[in-house]
């Protein structure tokens, strides 16, 4: 099974939470159109897409990645760090129940899925404004029986760990080493973002391609030079809400 879970853009998207970028006006209709094309990209790459309806009163809820961490044998339902986002987990919990056993992060633990980088049985959590040590301790407790080890990673100048580093394949990471220390990822091959594209470290491997924003052509060229097939998407309106390509879907493989 190849399934992606997405959620439509809220009509209140302009009220999104922001941490590291300045607020600029968002054209919600353009954001919705870009999101629809992102969903189509997932379908083009062979994924069935469970498209959840927009949550009118949850401005950030298009960013479903922050509500859960999908592992092969279990799914972790998060407790998002921003209070306005905590209700987003309710509908995601219902959507995931048919596909995974579920475990839950409880207060005072907070974690956004965008801070969670899964590399095999090792899970790295960015110690950000949204994710804390209590959540990491709970992840070790709740996921340890499945063979996973979770550790915190210091980062800076960006919202989430996966703003700074994402998985390209089993042995390769795309990284902005100015925002996270490469020593955390010894043994992996690293592809550096182009210096002029600091936000270019977020990529989404799907099927035989990588969904990647057209806004970062130099970093895209680096990925193609390494032999990767790129599925380009336009997400600049979504990026005004500190969103990126991993943020807008939950990938469920079995």
Domains (range + CATH), the chain? 2-253 (3.75.10.10)
Measured between alpha carbons, how far is 224 from 226 in angstroms, rounded to an integer?
Answer: 5
Structure confidence at residue 147 (pLDDT): 98
Q: Counting runs of H as helices and runs of E as strands, what totals does the chain give?
A: 6, 15
Go through 161-170 and write b for each residue having 16 or more CB atoms within 10 A of its CB, e for each that does not. Answer: bbbbbbbbee
Q: Are strands 116-119 and 122-126 parallel, antiparallel or unpaired?
A: antiparallel
Structure confidence at residue 133 (pLDDT): 98
Q: Facing residues of 116 across strands? A: 125
Q: How confident is the model at residue 115 (pLDDT cuts 50, 70, 90)?
A: very high
The residues assigned a catalytic role are: 160, 247
Chain segment 164-221, per-residue pLDDT in tens: 999 999 999 999 999 999 999 999 999 999 999 999 999 999 999 999 999 999 999 9
Average pLDDT over residues 1-28: 96
Measured between alpha carbons, how far is 155 from 20 in angstroms, rounded to an integer?
Answer: 13
Token pair for 206:
């799907």
Q: Report the 3 state secondary structure along 190-248.
A: EEECCCCCCCCCCCEEECCEEEEECCCHHHHHHHHHCCCCEEEECCHHHHCCCCCCHHH
**Full-prediction pTM beyond 0.85?**
yes
Structure confidence at residue 238 (pLDDT): 98
């Amino acid at each position: 099974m190849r399934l992606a879970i997405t959620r439509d853009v809220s009509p209140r998207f302009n009220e999104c939470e922001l941490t590291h970028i300045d607020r600029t006006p968002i054209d919600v209709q353009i954001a919705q159109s870009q999101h629809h094309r992102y969903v189509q990209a997932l379908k083009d790459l062979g994924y069935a897409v469970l498209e959840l309806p927009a949550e009118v009163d949850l401005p950030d809820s298009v960013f479903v990645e922050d509500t859960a961490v999908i592992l092969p044998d279990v799914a972790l339902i998060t407790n998002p760090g921003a209070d306005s986002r905590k209700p987003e987990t309710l509908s995601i919990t219902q959507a995931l129940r048919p596909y995974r056993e579920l475990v839950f992060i409880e207060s005072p633990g907070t974690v956004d899925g965008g801070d969670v980088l899964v590399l095999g049985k090792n899970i790295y959590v960015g110690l950000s404004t949204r994710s804390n040590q209590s959540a990491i301790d709970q992840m070790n407790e709740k996921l340890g029986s499945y063979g996973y080890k979770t550790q915190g990673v210091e980062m800076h100048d960006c919202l989430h760990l996966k703003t700074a580093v994402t998985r390209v394949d089993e042995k390769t990471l795309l990284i902005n080493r100015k925002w996270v220390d490469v020593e955390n990822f010894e043994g992996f091959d690293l592809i550096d973002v182009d210096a002029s594209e600091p936000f270019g470290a977020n990529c989404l491997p799907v099927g035989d391609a990588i969904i990647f924003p057209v806004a970062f052509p130099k970093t895209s060229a680096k990925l193609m030079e390494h032999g990767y097939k790129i599925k380009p998407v336009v997400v600049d309106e979504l990026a005004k809400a500190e969103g990126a390509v991993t943020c807008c879907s939950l990938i469920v493989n079995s």
